[in-house]
Amino acid sequence: MKIRLKNIGIISDSSLEIKGLTVITGHNNSGKTTVGKVIYSLIDAVSNIQQKSRNDRYHYALAELDKAYEEFSFRYSLKHGKDEIPNECLHIFFYIKTIITPKLKFSHPMNLSNT
């Protein structure tokens, strides 16, 4: 794997090739730690990317359900003049959030349909 670093930390322009065991040496304040952090960040960014994506979509869906619940509560209070929401409505939101949402596979954060 070839990596080119440009204007990152103390490194103005450098490239390195990682093959098998790669040892990075240099004087103090020469950018060794910066290179290590870049390599770690690159590997971390692409490892388990599908799981990370699913987690992001799941948390997005939960946040949207929370917004929908707040909006519903507000509109229900305005329409009926009551602060209490019927238990049936609470059960529906609870069911969606705890039972259905974890089982969904989202194709895009903005598309909450089951795929």
pTM of the complete model: 0.47
For residue 90, what pLDDT is reported?
76
What pLDDT, on the 0 to 100 scale, is given for residue 26?
92
pLDDT of residue 109: 44
At 12 the pLDDT is 93
pLDDT at 74: 79
pLDDT at 97: 75
- Give the per-residue pLDDT at 99: 74
Three-state DSSP class for residue 13 = strand
CA distances from 45 to 4, 18, 35 (A): 17, 17, 15
Q: Please tell me the distance from the alpha carbon of residue 11 to that of residue 77, in angstroms, as a whole number.
A: 59
Report the pLDDT value the prediction gives residue 106, as an integer from 0 to 100: 53
Question: What SS3 class is residue 100?
Answer: helix
Secondary structure letter of residue 37 according to DSSP: H
pLDDT of residue 31: 92
- CB distance 61 to 104 below 8 Å: yes
Crossing angle, helix 49-80 and helix 87-95, to 10 degrees?
A: 170
The pLDDT averaged over each successive group of 10 residues in the chain (115 residues) is: 90 90 91 92 85 84 85 81 76 76 56 41
